[in-house]
Structure 1
Amino acid sequence: MTTTTYLLCIFVGSLSVFIMCGNLLLISSIIYFKQLRTPTNFLILSLAVADLLVGVFVLPFSTMLSVSSCWYLQDVLCKVRSSFDIFLCTASIFNLCFISVDRYYAVCQPLRYRAKINVCVIMIMILLSWTVPALNGIVITILGVNQEQSNRTCVLFQHIRFAMIGIGLGFYLPAIVMSTIYLKILIVARRQVSSIQNTTHQSTKSGAAVSKMERKATKTLAVVMGVFLICWTPFFLCMTFNPLTNYTIPVPVIAAFKWLGWSNSMLNPLVYAFFYSRFRSAFRMIISGKIFQVADAAVFAADGIKK
């Protein structure tokens, strides 16, 4: 094994560990603490499961493809990796999209939120987040993916028609929906803050507090969309324009952008959990082992979850 191979294994191993630890922490928090079992958090739980499986299955298979010298196994590994890759990454993106829908009703239609977004609706969202990507992955892998080995690479999306369908359904459609929804959320949130300031004639101190809340909401939305777009846009743009340019984009460049996209599964727990004090309290209790102490768990239920 060369030095590059060792470095690749170390990098992939570290990324897989971070992905698994972060998402296991998030999953454990929602499962263990009853106060966190809300409809919105069920969507976050579904997202964490998808991201966890990316770290468990997709990254190890990709590493095996990169370092394997068993050519008779690479075709099988390529097919397996492609199926899991398309399925799980699309499931993660779909969960992000449905979380944005949930946030839209919570911010823009708060009075109708409980009626519109109930457990049944959340379960339907979760079901769609898994079934549509599963069908997408199966169809693309079987009908549209050329798994022939060329220069020791696993070549995907050789057929432009299937490539455009898969990329459009798996990235562009969710990205457009998320961008539109979060822009609407930002506009409504600012309008609500302005309305509160005008109708209540708040003091300078109260106005500063509201302004701080507005900046925090704006920052959170910017991070949510920014992380998603930064991680996935370069790869999908390459996959879109590569066939149109007669495949002139170097394979290492596409591979690097793909790794950047997979890193989104590591960042999602930070974006959707560490921004909220109730999750931070749960994480601290799990990491410190205080969940095994009944008294501390009671304190969390009484105080930490209400922060």
Structure 2
Amino acid sequence: MNLSQPWTAESLSFCYEYLNNSCVKTVYSPVIRAPLYLLFAITIILIVCGNLLVIFTISCFQQLHTPTNYLIISMAIADLLLGGFVMPPSMVRSLETCWYFGDFFCKFHSSTDFTLCNASVLHLTFISIDRYYAVCQPLQYYNKITTRVSIAMIVASWSFSALFGFGITFSGLKIENEQTEEGRVSCKGGCLALHGREIGVTYSVVFFFIPMFVIVSIYSHIFVIAQKHTRVINHYPPNSSLRTKDLKATKTLAIVIGVFMCCWTPFFMCNIIDPVVNHSIPELLYEVLMWVAYLNAVFNPLIYALFYSWFREKSKVLLSKLNKLC
């Protein structure tokens, strides 16, 4: 091994040394593996703690119980599950290059991963609809976007995501059927994640690029209307503070959507390009882009803390109460 390149494989071994059908294991140098374990562990802790703070801050204060914030809570739950359930086994799989948790849990883990990704996209889509009515049709907003409508959006997001996430995995359906992937699944110690090459172009277009196009289109229209509102806002004193609040909330949620797109687009672009280049994109690049996408779950609580004064104020109150209890 060339010690000047600690990121290269130290040796090739097997996930299960005493099994004939064991998958090949790539052993990475401890020089790079140990820091990555630490980095991933810190990331997981930040995701869990940050999204728990979002959930409890909104839940514990009655004045924050709004249709928009219900959607934010539900999306924070998706990020929490991603950090607390999906990412720890993914960390082991990425760094050990083997799956040691059994075939059933492989399917369940992949289904959950798939479901949470879809749920995030659908939540962002519904949030864009919520913001459209808040800014573009403010007089109809409280009639159109009620608590009942918000809950229906949440139920639809989770139901649709789980139906496809678990349905595709446990039905045995494969969007793409590459021999190399079949070999990786059939050997012991392999678990082909749904966030991998098998999801292919179809999934990337239907479940990511089309929703993102819809979201961007809605927000483009929102900001055109918002500019008009900004110019005339001082002519309507009774509504000015409410209108300003809606505009600020819309801008903050637009940042959330923009960060989501920055984190996830490179991964899905890889899935679009991979068939064009005859599936020659290295697996390591997929792993790196998958973790870049996972990092999105860290950013949302930070965005709320930076741009929502109500979140900063209420979270400080909540944390002070917790300190007194401790």
TM norm. shorter chain > 0.5: yes
> Do the aligned residues in 2 keep the contact of 1:23 with 1:52 (CA within 8 Å)?
yes
Match of 1:138 in 2: 166
Higher helix share: 1
Number of equivalences = 282
CA RMSD, aligned part only? Answer: 3.2
Per the TM alignment, residue 110 of structure 1 is displaced from its structure 2 partner at its CA by 0.3
> Do the aligned residues in 2 keep the contact of 1:79 with 1:147 (CA within 8 Å)?
no
Identity percentage over the alignment? Answer: 41
Match of 1:184 in 2: 221
Cα gap change, 1:79 to 1:221, in 2 (>3 Å): closer
Equivalent of residue 174 in structure 1, options 211, 216, 229: 211
Per the TM alignment, residue 121 of structure 1 is displaced from its structure 2 partner at its CA by 0.9
Per the TM alignment, residue 216 of structure 1 is displaced from its structure 2 partner at its CA by 6.1
Paired residue type of 1:64 = V
Paired residue type of 1:175 = M
Say whether residues 1:230 and 2:262 are aligned partners. yes
Cα gap change, 1:118 to 1:144, in 2 (>3 Å): same
Per the TM alignment, residue 159 of structure 1 is displaced from its structure 2 partner at its CA by 11
Per the TM alignment, residue 281 of structure 1 is displaced from its structure 2 partner at its CA by 0.8
Per the TM alignment, residue 135 of structure 1 is displaced from its structure 2 partner at its CA by 1.5
Per the TM alignment, residue 12 of structure 1 is displaced from its structure 2 partner at its CA by 1.3
Normalized against structure 2, the TM-score is what? 0.76
Q: For residues 137-184 of structure 1, give each alpha carbon's deviation from its aligned partner in whole angstroms, at most 9, with x where no partner exists.
A: 123323126564279874456998963342233211221121011111
Structure 2: tracts of 5 or more residues without a match? 1-28, 176-180
Structure 1: tracts of 5 or more residues without a match? 201-208, 294-307
Equivalent of residue 259 in structure 1, options 268, 291, 297: 291
CA distance in 2, matches of 1:184, 1:214: 15
Cα gap change, 1:217 to 1:131, in 2 (>3 Å): closer
CA distance in 2, matches of 1:102, 1:186: 14
Paired residue type of 2:61 = F
Paired residue type of 1:255 = E
Partner SS state of residue 112, structure 1 = helix
> Do the aligned residues in 2 keep the contact of 1:186 with 1:221 (CA within 8 Å)?
no
CA distance in 1, matches of 2:273, 2:86: 24
Per the TM alignment, residue 259 of structure 1 is displaced from its structure 2 partner at its CA by 0.7
Cα gap change, 1:189 to 1:246, in 2 (>3 Å): same
CA distance in 2, matches of 1:153, 1:258: 17
Between 162-171 and 183-192, the greater mean CA deviation after superposition: 162-171
Cα gap change, 1:178 to 1:147, in 2 (>3 Å): farther
Per the TM alignment, residue 60 of structure 1 is displaced from its structure 2 partner at its CA by 0.7
Between 90-99 and 52-61, the greater mean CA deviation after superposition: 90-99
